[in-house]
Structure 1
Amino acid sequence: MIKILSSLVAFFSITSLCAQNVAAEVPKLVVGITIDQLRGDYLEMFKHTFGEKGFKRLLNSGLVYANVSYDFPAIDRASAMTTLYTGANPSYHGIIAENKFAVDLNRETASFSDDKYLGNYTTEKLSPLPVKVSTLTDELQIASGGQSDVFAFAPHASQALASGGHAATGAYWIEDFSGKWATTTFYKNKQPVVDQRNRGIESTSNRINSITWRPAIDVNQYNAFPYTKNIYNFQHFFANDKKNSVKLFKQSPYVNTEVREIAEAVLRSNSLGKRMNPDFLAVTFYAGNYENALDKNYSVEIQDTYYRLDQELGKLLDAIEETVGIKNALIFVVSTGYFNEQEILPQGMVTSNGIFRPERTQALLNMYLMAVYGREQWIKKYYNRQFFFDRKLIEDKKISLADFQKTAAEFLVLSAGVQDVYTSYQMLHGAYNGVLQHYRNGYYKNISGDLFLELQPGWHVEDSQNGDHQFMRNNAVLSPVFFLGNHIKPQKIEQTIDALQIAPSVAYRLRIRAPNAAKGSILKELL
């Protein structure tokens, strides 16, 4: 009996040790798949058109969180992507939006603008240095002593630079005019596979004039929206608009094919996941609207985009299985948590809302400030629902900046269409409350403005200076998160997680430090 008990104790001890070793096994390859504007409700609505290898594989075999939230205002692709890879809000990482108003230059610039570095296959001068903290991929390179390969491929520069980080082997995006894969001289390594793609006949720049976007399957299967006036067979020729052909291409599902093909080529040619140290492949797909969709409200094009995205996702997962093995990889798929709605009101419809015109609001505010403080041009710029004041003028006139901001805010909050106004002084010194903290999370000193406007839902913004024409909405967008591989137990978690938790959770699985500004807790299902 004693021998039997001893044998059982030994057996369970070994079993327990093996289980711990499996859980502690570091993945050979991490694949971060960010899908810009992915919606969970659309996954449910369009699933009857999906195959078994893409989203259904993630849903059936992965760890699924119902929703991810970003706790700061005006989320866009640059701020969301940087938040995901730093595990920090814009108040720490410094990327508050795709573009910013540079006060010293008195003009709009890209948030990743950096005049110190030239571009390859682009005239843009960009670098990841505007990200003020470390990224998940940075920490992997630090841990491996620079021996890991880190690649990022995305439709847009901000997405590639944020996910590639400061120490990437290569970070590439599709240039807006040529359609070639571009990068910055900040990164010193050149990749023959990418150069070959740019020079070859398969290059987007060589193919775009011959691409016609038509429905991939019988259009009658795109029946998810019951309010669609008609199910139409669309045709979009990118060559019809020479000036914007690449821009339109990047709003179509063909951009996902281009991203997947180059990412898969690098995965294979560089033998990612087959060396001593883990490698990292960051891929960004697009699941947003097409601005030239024939029906703006309920689009057949968006259903075709999801059908084709499901196919591309399945092909990428198959390539990972073939080269490294899903069990040897850690794959996470995450949405950027916002959606740019297209909306056309029926002709003759009258609403209780109105049109918010920034230029008019700026003129009225400046007239009021002139009456209070003197006849000067107090406002430098209205930009992205922020007002920037001439701080040097305010300082020269010996006016309290806090009082000046408060005076302006009290005037603006009475304006039609304005829900509330927050000052930068409140951000830095105000009493805590949940709404103010939400705006504080999106504020970065010397980059953000003096006043932040919260506009009322339903109001139509018409900004002729930067082309901002949109209906304000406060709808929550369901944005799922998936984890697959690395011995992760398949399960569905009906809860909302914080975007700040993703980077430290992946870092935990890699057994490396979390990014240096990441404060989010590790997801307990990944412990």
Structure 2
Amino acid sequence: MRLLFLACLCFSVIFQTNGQNKNIPPQRPKLVVGIVVDQMRIDYLYRYWNKFENNGFKKLVNEGAFYKNAHLNYIFTQTGCGHATIFTGAEPSVHGIVSNYWYLRSKKQKLYCCEDKNVTPVGSDTKKGNRSPVNMLASTVGDELRVSTLMKGKVIGVSLKDRAAILPAGHTANAAYWYDSDSGNMITSSHYMKQLPKWVLDFNAKKLADVYLDRLWTPLLPIEQYTESLPDSNKFEYGFGNGQSVFPYDLAFISKKDKTSRNYEVLMDTPFGNTLTKDFAIATIMNEELGKDDIPDMLTVSFSSTDYMGHRYNPYSVEMEDVYLRLDKEIAHLIEFIETEVGKENVVIFLTADHGSSQHPDYMKSIKYPQGKFNPSYSMTLLKSYLNAVYGQGEWVMEYIDGQIYLNHNLIEDSKLSLKEVQEKTADFMIQFNGIANAMSAYSMVNTPFSDGIFKFMQNSFNQERSGDVFINLRPGWVEESSIYMVNHNTPYSYDTNVPLIFYGWKIPRQTVYQKVNITSIAPSISFMLNISTPNGCTSNILTNLFN
């Protein structure tokens, strides 16, 4: 009897020990999931807090490390720049993604940040597949993970936007998948593979884009409960551009081109674009068996619909509140799936944003808030006339792109003029325009050491090979005029730079951090968790609070 008792006791101890070991975090996480919410202002987190469920944003904040004062540290806050910065740990001046587009003087044309004519589409026959990370000059966390594991660790990027899938995953990624708005399918390019895996073909065969576009988009809650927003019917929204900017939205009708074809771009401007992204992220984890062995894997997931909608609607619109309440549920579903499949102790999840956004200038004007609109076309016309008057007739200005003025270097050289002089005269002329707070020449950015402030932000965005000759910065609250955007970003002000930053899972301590940090610290921190080298262009330190 005594022997039987001892045997049962030993079995009980062994069983309890094995059960406990299952919840002990490994030396390094088995899976890293980097979530980026495109154009997420940090105040959205606070504004909608009481309506979020417990297992989405609230779970990340309450059980993770929440950095309330995380910022971008450069001026041109755009999608390409933001995603590259988050995952390289470097500023645009180093990683080279200085804007979504920049100007190639040698070819006299714009270049898209992920454009690559040397690759071909996979899963599509449109130019939307001629994409790769070839224009990014630095490595990402994913690249370093691949190198350190002898290419055994898997790295995959997922998003509706190609740049939001490609740039985070890096150069050596197993795959990056993005949305083809011509077909409603997820596609990739020959940079990664020759043909889509069977599981991606099966996913596309479900025609989920059609399923979501056959819906009537109505508010998640009764309309009277959207107390954090303006009335649904207001004049500060663009909507779908067809005169409709109030609920309900008949997506089947709005997306209908004709009797036989559909405009799949519509999905991107609805909360269901985020749903499709989450569905594909879950399918990726399942079919690629991410986090299933001791070799770490990485998945990057960028939710883009918040950006597409953010440009069309006022940040105080019912539609924006609705997309975040729905995104909260998508994130809750994704977390639940990951914890079930991989285990909370085995995964690090971090969530941040690539940039914030402005307020709607017309709305802010109605409440007497400082704001304004800058007309770049008008200012460039006057600038060209001025330079013609000073230096004679000529094509002195080659291009203007999102706050950057590109001058004609060949003409300036042929005219035996000083490039510095023409740059400085251009900057001095531009500062006279109403709404422009700062104008700086490339010469000044190269030769003047700034330590902080707006001018340092300009330098962090400046790459000598790719950037313009003159940078302009608008006053706080000002945006460039646009026929399609109601709201924009691309400034160094807090409404654009202050973004959420949350780490969750594995050995992450539960805490709220108030000190100011830069998003360039994300990549080295993840690298330290994985015991790998930091990305080769990384300029920042780790977030030491995560390792206390």
Q: TM-score, with normalisation over the residues of structure 2?
A: 0.85
Residue deviations 1:29-86 (CA, integer Å, cap 9, x gap)? 1111111122332222212222221112112211111132111112011110100000
SS state of the match for residue 377, structure 1?
A: coil
**Residue 58 of structure 2 aligns with which residue?**
56
The one-letter amino acid of 2:201's match is D
Task: Write the letter of the residue equivalent to 1:141.
Answer: R
1:484-503 counterparts in 2 under 5 A?
484-503=504-523
Q: Give the CA deviation at 1:104.
A: 3.0
CA distance in 2 between partners of 1:67 and 1:427 (Å):
27
Aligned partner of residue 476 in structure 1, secondary structure: helix
Residue aligning to 2:460: 441
Deviation of 1:381 (Å): 1.4
1:413-492 equivalent positions in 2, closer than 5 A? 413-434=431-452, 435-459=454-478, 461-462=480-481, 474-476=493-495, 478-492=498-512
> Secondary structure of 1:495's match?
coil
SS in 2 for 1:290: helix
How far the C-alpha of 1:346 sits from its partner, in A, is 8.7
The match for 1:237 is 251
Give the match for residue 194 of structure 1: 200
Q: Percent identity of the aligned residues?
A: 29
Q: Which runs of 5+ in 1 are unaligned?
A: 1-17
- Cα shift at 1:371: 2.2
Post-superposition Cα deviations, 1:470-499, rounded to whole Å, max 9, x if no partner, equal 578745354221111112221111233111
Deviation, structure 1 residue 422: 0.6
Map Cα deviations across residues 228-262 of structure 1 (whole Å, 9 max, x no partner).
Answer: 77897432526425569433321321111111111
- Residues 353 and 153 of structure 1, relative CA distance in 2, 3 Å threshold: closer
1:84-129 Cα offsets, whole Å, 9 max, x none, are 0000000000111222233333333311111111112242311111
1:294-349 CA-partner distances (Å, limit 9, x unpaired): x7362111111111111111111111111110111111111223225444349999
Q: Is the 8 A contact 2:397 2:405 kept in 1?
A: yes
- For 1:526, the aligned partner's letter is L
SS of residue paired to 2:278: helix
Q: 1:91-490, aligned counterparts within 5 Å?
A: 91-120=93-122, 121=124, 122-124=126-128, 125-188=130-193, 190-198=196-204, 200-204=205-209, 206-207=210-211, 209-225=213-229, 233-237=247-251, 239-242=253-256, 245-286=263-304, 287-288=306-307, 290=309, 296=314, 298-345=316-363, 355-434=373-452, 435-459=454-478, 461-462=480-481, 474-476=493-495, 478-490=498-510
Partner of 1:86: 88
Cα distance in 1 for partners of 2:89, 2:98 equals 14
Secondary structure of 2:515's match? strand
Does the 8 Å CA contact 2:74/2:91 hold for their aligned counterparts? yes
1:506 — aligned with what?
526
Contact kept, 8 Å, 1:114 with 1:127, in 2: the verdict is yes
Following the alignment from structure 1 to structure 2, what is the Cα–Cα distance between the partners of residues 459 and 209? 35
Does the aligned pair in 2 maintain the 1:84–1:502 contact within 8 Å?
yes
Q: CA RMSD in A?
A: 2.9
Query: C-alpha separation between the residues in 2 aligned to 1:346 and 1:523?
Result: 36
Query: What is the deviation of 1:291?
Result: 6.2
Q: Note if contact 1:35-1:333 (Cα within 8 Å) is conserved in structure 2.
A: yes
- The CA distance in 2 between the partners of 1:296 and 1:463, in whole Å, is 14
For residues 413 and 248 of structure 1, do their structure 2 counterparts lie closer, same or farther at Cα, with a shift above 3 Å needed? same
1:364 and 1:382 map into 2 onto residues whose CA distance is 13
**Quick check: 1:288–1:302 contact (8 Å CA) kept in 2?**
no
Write the letter of the residue equivalent to 1:253: P
Q: Provide, for residues 448-483 of structure 1, a one-character-per-residue CA deviation record: whole Å limited to 9, x for no partner.
A: 11111112235453367xx67757874535422111
- Cα deviation per residue 1:261-311 (whole Å; 9 max; x = unaligned)? 111112112221112311111111243462696x73621111111111111
Q: Distance in 2 between matches of 1:460 and 1:35?
A: 22
In 1, distance between residues paired with 2:371 and 2:323? 32
Question: Residue deviations 1:358-391, cap 9 Å, x none?
Answer: 2222222222222222221211112212211110
Cα pair 1:94 1:444 within 8 Å, conserved: yes
- Size of the aligned set, in residue pairs, is 504
Residue 352 (structure 1) shift: 8.4
* Structure-1 separation of matches of 2:389 and 2:522: 50
- The one-letter code matched in structure 2 to 1:510 is L
Relative to 1, partners in 2 of residues 1:69 and 1:460: Cα closer, same or farther, differing over 3 Å? closer
Contact 2:439 2:470 (8 Å CA) reproduced: yes
Residue 78 of structure 2: which of 68, 76, 79 is its match?
76
Greater mean alpha carbon deviation, residues 351-360 or residues 52-61: 351-360
- The answer to which of 263-272 and 499-508 deviates more is 263-272
Question: Structure 1 pair 340/181, CA: closer, same or farther in 2 (3 Å)?
Answer: farther
Unaligned regions of 5+ residues in structure 2, if any?
A: 1-19, 235-244
C-alpha distance in 1 between matches for 2:376 and 2:486 = 11
